[in-house]
Chain A
């Protein structure tokens, strides 16, 4: 149902695990079920770190704050448990897994999501083919090793394929648009919108630098992140304003604060 809170981030602070480098500096954010949120912000402001911390990347240490997902504290959970609870991260830089085919990988993932119950291989095959068709992917792609030798655009499309197969309730999409050409952007955006039609409760958090993605996947809320914090939140107009003005004003405030 739309309107119920699905993700509540309170005062989230995180640093690089084995370095004295703080990246998230007390971040607050609340997402309701079925909403689309976009986070924009300058390079290095901590957007990807936020996404990875939400997914449980072991390279970061949370030093304060809480993350409540559907009433559960996720900071205590392993990445696989977060996935099984319904979270998904489409990576800004997807990882290559040589020798492991997409089909094999996704079969193992879907099986892990199902738990004890044995996966029906025919059903899985149908699901995979249906989602590949949705994203206009050649079925032969399923036998290729995950991201190994993929072009930038192919990697991004493969992220969304995984998302479509795993059907998360919360999708974090980190710069899925970068690396996609105009046609591919449209295909991928249509895919995401189709998934939301099938499951209106699916909540999406987009990280992007460009308005052009937001023309296809229309956000309800746009947040600006600077220096590890949300500094402004508003409606779609915030993105348009940033497109016009850039982050200049935020940089000035930052500089003033630093003095």
Chain B
């Protein structure tokens, strides 16, 4: 493995010099976007628990920003035999795909895409490569309408410091029958990684995309900041799935914005099982009439894991649907926060928007807070929200045990069933099985 850094002379502290170093060799438009983002970052105060959106996640306690260094950007060989075992195992389960992309510590080490698809103009490549080879596509979409730096402090930090990421582009009318699979592995403890994902589905195209991030347990806090932009143009259909199965000490920060234009379908699934702290900001924007977004989420915590999901369903246009279901089970001393808002913009009549968050507490120490919200500026809409926090029900356990299931098995079955409802709403090749297996492993480890 080579030790040379692809960016010469980069300091590894998070500062203006680091951003400047990133701009070396980049086109002017990108360099100026980075510097602008850095300014937004500096001008935005660090969020505190006084802000509604950060009320239950205290960053002064949870995020050790000063002790993090920027992850080294090493060029690594595209040689699976040198990959960590956990990464290879995850990749082995993903043979059925339209294409693959693998990142280790934020750097793309492998890409493949089926030839017939690249022949039709489908692009799956590293974002750096896309900046060079497809600047017009990247410039149009990157960090503009989706996940702009103005969205928040960390969105700005990511836009300033991202090293690499994924670019996935599907031209008009092209349909992929199998998902594209991205697998990320993080190994450098104490580092901060910034990556971006840009997915553009042109009109009437059809794709599914599964992004999995993994690591072993890490010795010190390690930050992965990921900004995701999904753009679904008129009549296109996109399924976006993100699965986080990192080890202890991982701080996972994922900031996603989805844009669904006229008559398009843009479904998302966020699965969070690992990491010490998880924060997902998902802003789903329904931009055109007939747009439809199913927003699914699943989390399962133990030990002192902390999950914070902050979602918004922005109905910019009328005659669109969004339906959110986030479900989580919490064992031991784990904790979850869900904050969701349905925002119906002025004039967005005939909106159908639903939001449900359900939590199952498996121990007396576990805790869940759910804060559903409605902001409605139109009068002809159907909106509902609901949240529940419940415990394992004695009657259910007795019922299952009366059929011969020992208590631990009965509990597992109830939890799997509870979470499984989410997975069954997005039946995508292999995802259901893989996530179910991961949940089962986690349940089994509790004995």
Contact = CB atoms under 8 A, between A and B. Distances in A.
Contacts, number: 83
A55 B402 contact: yes
Nearest to A162: B403
A113 B400 CA distance: 13
B398 A57 contact: yes
Contacts of B394: 58-59
Interface string B399-431: 111111111011001101111110010000000
Contact of A78 (B393, B407, B414, B424): B407
Contacts of B404: 80, 83-84, 109, 112-113, 166
B403 A99 contact: no
B407 A80 contact: yes
Contact of B413 (A58, A59, A94, A97): A97
Interface in A86-109: 88-89, 91, 94-95, 97-100, 104-106, 108-109
B410 to A, nearest CB: 8
A15 B400 CA distance: 23
A34 interface: no
A191 interface: no
Contacts of A57: 398
Interface range on chain A: under 10, 10 to 19, 20 to 34, or 35 or more? Answer: 20 to 34
B396 interface: yes
B398 A100 contact: no
A145 interface: yes
A215 to B, nearest CB: 28
Contacts of B375: none
A83 B421 contact: no
B52 interface: no
Nearest to A165: B403
Contact of A97 (B402, B406, B417): B417
Contacts of A219: none
A106 B399 CA distance: 12
A99 B401 contact: no
A112 B408 CA distance: 12
A79 interface: yes
B409 A108 contact: yes
A52 B417 CA distance: 24
Interface string A105-135: 1101100110000000000000000000000
A112 B228 CA distance: 45
Interface in A37-84: 52, 55-59, 78-80, 82-84
B395 interface: yes
B421 A98 contact: yes
Contacts of B406: 78, 80, 112
Contact of B409 (A56, A97, A112, A145): A112
Most buried by A among B402, B406, B419: B402
A98 B398 contact: no
Interface centre among B393, B395, B419, by most chain A C-beta atoms within 10 angstroms, is B395
A78 B401 contact: yes
A112 B407 CA distance: 11
A104 B424 CA distance: 15
B416 A83 contact: no
29 contacts: A52-B398, A56-B401, A58-B398, A78-B401, A78-B406, A78-B407, A79-B401, A80-B406, A80-B407, A80-B410, A88-B402, A95-B396, A95-B398, A97-B400, A97-B413, A98-B421, A99-B421, A100-B416, A100-B417, A100-B420, A104-B413, A109-B400, A109-B403, A109-B404, A112-B403, A112-B404, A112-B406, A145-B417, A162-B403
Question: Top 9 nearest A-B pairs by Cβ distance?
Answer: A99-B417, A100-B417, A83-B404, A95-B399, A79-B401, A99-B420, A109-B403, A112-B404, A80-B401
Given A79-B401, A109-B405, 9 more contacts: A56-B398, A78-B407, A89-B402, A97-B399, A98-B417, A99-B417, A109-B400, A112-B404, A145-B417
